[in-house]
Amino acid sequence: MSTNIPGNLKYTKEHEWALVEGDTVTVGITDFAQSALGDIVFLEVPEVGSELKNGSTFGVVESIKSVSDLYAPVSGEVIARNTDLEGSPERINQDAYGSWLIKVKVKDKNDLANLLTAEQYQEFCNTSH
Amino acid sequence: MESLQKTYLYDEHVKLGGKIVPFAGWDMPVQYTSVKDEVLAVRNNVGVFDVSHMGEFFVEGKDAEAFVDSLVTNDIQGAEMGKAIYSPLCREDGTVIDDLIVYKLTTGHVMICVNASNIDKDFNWIKSKHTGFKCNLTNKSSEYSLLALQGPKSFEILRPLLRELPDLEYYSVFQTEFGTHQVIIARTGYTGEDGFEIFGSHEAIKALWQKFMTLKVVPCGLAARDVLRLEVCYPLYGHELNDEVNPYDAGLGWTVKGAKTNFIGKEALASKKARYKLVKLVLERGIPREGYPVLNGKNEAIGVVTSGTMSVVTNKGIAFARIEIDKVPADEVFNVDIRQKSYPAQLVKKPFVTGGHK
């Protein structure tokens, strides 16, 4: 059971983390998610300029044996992608919170209210797995 | 929900932190630490798999070899005593019921090891063909546990634990003792590496597993096993093989011995007609997965991926794909459709990885 859930981040039930800074949201996958996936070997995230829709899939992360969809925590435009991960997605296994995937410019700030707090996400992980 | 069976080693897997998943009606460990580490342990050192879910049938009596020979496409009677023979088990129309290994233990004593998901289907089929032969057929799947010890260090790990273990040829079988337990040892496995499969009573196999753990043999799960067998291009029932295809459709023409007097499916297989070609594809970018469409150079669908993964050894996407025989592209240009995007795939003739088996 993962206990690595930083208090300064927000979370989704699909195990993404979100760092909210003004109207910019930095998105990654949680330590729980990387641990469940195992050795991450492939990552696909949208180009800068793509529009994301809250709750919809925006990319995939693949381990040796599995494919998992990534879900957008908010609606908005992709303003950056972490090119450091392109050749070495295994960094997500080593440091899930240091390995952000994309940055999104939030379209509707109401989306932020629906994200889980660290406490809520911890509770979610405890009860659903 | 149907309740899943557990192998006798289930508690050992849980104790080791194994991630348990349902597989072929069984609760099986899919991985313990990391698929990558487990694959590399087998390629470079030694690992062990609990494959007790697999089935064991025994055929015993004067006509044991003749009976088994009549069931399968490969040559059983012609093989030397003490050999293990891989073979498809086919219907009259040539379709594959299962792929299995026949072990010629001693004269009049044959063991057949079958896939877990096909135990009942195989046994019922074999029983229905068991007429006119002087031999007994028994399904002892629930009495046997089975370990696969795989990797270049397998022999040096296993030999001191047994009363006797000669340096067996690949695909040979030998009966000996582990402590007071009778065990059947075969130099087989499904990883491409040197190694042994050890059949014995549940108690014997549990004690042997525990011994392996004290010797730091790496416990390996089904995920690593699947990567290992795909890297060396061994087909797996339910993927490359199924009830609809014949051995030629799955690249197993070499196991069909047309010169044998008679066997079930002989007539249908005599024409060597294949509806499909099983090809090996390598992707520099993207990971092919089972079910993904395979496309030609014009991006027209010509087949489907039957097994795919990221190779741990080559760090590339690798796949078996079943291509419709009349759509195999002459220019050998293949693409794999991954999430509606076309990724170039290179056709290769040799296995993706060369195993180190004898």
Q: How many CB pairs under 8 A join A and B?
A: 33
CB contact under 8 A, B287 and A67: yes
B104: CB partners within 8 A, 6+ apart:
B65, B76, B79, B80, B81, B82, B83, B84, B85, B110, B173
Strand, coil or helix: what is B72? strand
Residues in chain A closer than 8 A to B284 (CB atoms): none
Does residue A4 lie in a domain region?
A: no
At B47 the pLDDT is 98
Strand, coil or helix: what is A28? strand
Q: Which residue of B has its CA nearest to A38?
A: B34
Strand blocks (E) in chain B: 5-6, 19-23, 26-31, 47-50, 55-60, 84-90, 96-106, 109-114, 136-139, 144-150, 173-178, 181-186, 195-201, 218-219, 276-283, 293-295, 301-310, 317-324, 334-338, 341-348
CB contact under 8 A, A42 and B312: no
Chain B residues with CB within 8 Å of chain A CB? 30-31, 34-36, 223, 226-227, 286-287, 289, 309-310, 312, 315, 339
| Residue of A64, A67, A86 to mutate for B, most B C-beta atoms under 10 A | A64
CB-nearest to A41 from B226, B310, B339 is: B310
The token duo for B37 is 């580490």
Distance of alpha carbon B278 from alpha carbon B96, whole angstroms: 15
Does residue A81 lie in a domain region?
A: yes
- Percentages (nearest 5) of helix, strand, coil residues in chain A: 20, 35, 45
Distance of alpha carbon A21 from alpha carbon A8, whole angstroms: 11
Which phi and psi (to 5°) does residue B157 adopt? Answer: -75, -45
Distance of alpha carbon B302 from alpha carbon B158, whole angstroms: 46
* Fold agreement (B5-54+142-231, B56-139): no
The DSSP H or E segment spanning A104 is strand A102-106
CB contact under 8 A, B34 and A38: yes
Residues in chain B closer than 8 A to A38 (CB atoms): 31, 34-35, 223
At B1 the pLDDT is 52
Distance of alpha carbon A68 from alpha carbon B126, whole angstroms: 41
Domain that holds residue A83: 10-108
Q: How far is the alpha carbon of B250 from chain A, nearest alpha carbon, in Å?
A: 23
Q: What is the CATH number of domain B5-54+142-231?
A: 3.30.1360.120
Domain residue ranges of chain B, discontinuous segments joined by + = 5-54+142-231, 56-139
Counting as low any pLDDT under 70, the low residues of chain B are 1-2
Q: Could you say which DSSP state residue B241 is in?
A: B
Say if residue A118 is exposed, middle or buried (CB neighbours under 10 Å; 0-12, 13-18, 19+): middle
CB contact under 8 A, A65 and B286: no
Does residue A42 lie in a domain region?
A: yes
| Residue of B310, B315, B352 to mutate for A, most A C-beta atoms under 10 A | B310
The predicted-structure confidence for A26-68, as pLDDT tens digits, reads as follows 999 999 999 999 999 999 999 999 999 999 999 999 999 899 9
Q: How far is the alpha carbon of B354 from chain A, nearest alpha carbon, in Å?
A: 20
Distance of alpha carbon B13 from alpha carbon B110, whole angstroms: 31
Secondary structure tally for chain A: helices H, strands E: 4, 9
At A2 the pLDDT is 53
Interface confidence, given as ipTM, is 0.85
The total number of residues written for chain A in this structure: 129
Residues in chain A closer than 8 A to B289 (CB atoms): 67
Distances (CA, A) of A90 to A37, A85, B114: 11, 8, 37
Given phi > 0 = left and psi -120 to 50 = alpha, else beta, which region is B117?
Answer: alpha
Strand, coil or helix: what is B247? helix
At A3 the pLDDT is 72
Q: Which residue of B has its CA nearest to A86?
A: B285
Does residue A2 lie in a domain region?
A: no
b/e code B41-79 from CB counts within 10 Å (16+ = b) = bbbebbbbbbbbbbbbbbbbbebbbbbbbbbbbbbbeeb
| Residue of A65, A68, A94 to mutate for B, most B C-beta atoms under 10 A | A65
At B64 the pLDDT is 98
The sign of the torsion formed by the CA atoms of B40, B46, B48, B54 equals positive
| Confidence category of residue A108, pLDDT binned at 50, 70, 90 | very high
At A128 the pLDDT is 73
Fill in the amino acid letter for A28: G
CB contact under 8 A, A65 and B287: no
At B52 the pLDDT is 98
CB-nearest to A64 from B286, B310, B339 is: B310
> How many domains does one find in chain A?
1
Residues in chain B closer than 8 A to A43 (CB atoms): none
User: B56-139: which CATH topology?
Assistant: Alpha-Beta Plaits (3.30.70)
At B43 the pLDDT is 98
The predicted-structure confidence for A3-23, as pLDDT tens digits, reads as follows 799 999 999 999 999 999 999
**Domain of residue A39, CATH code:** 2.40.50.100
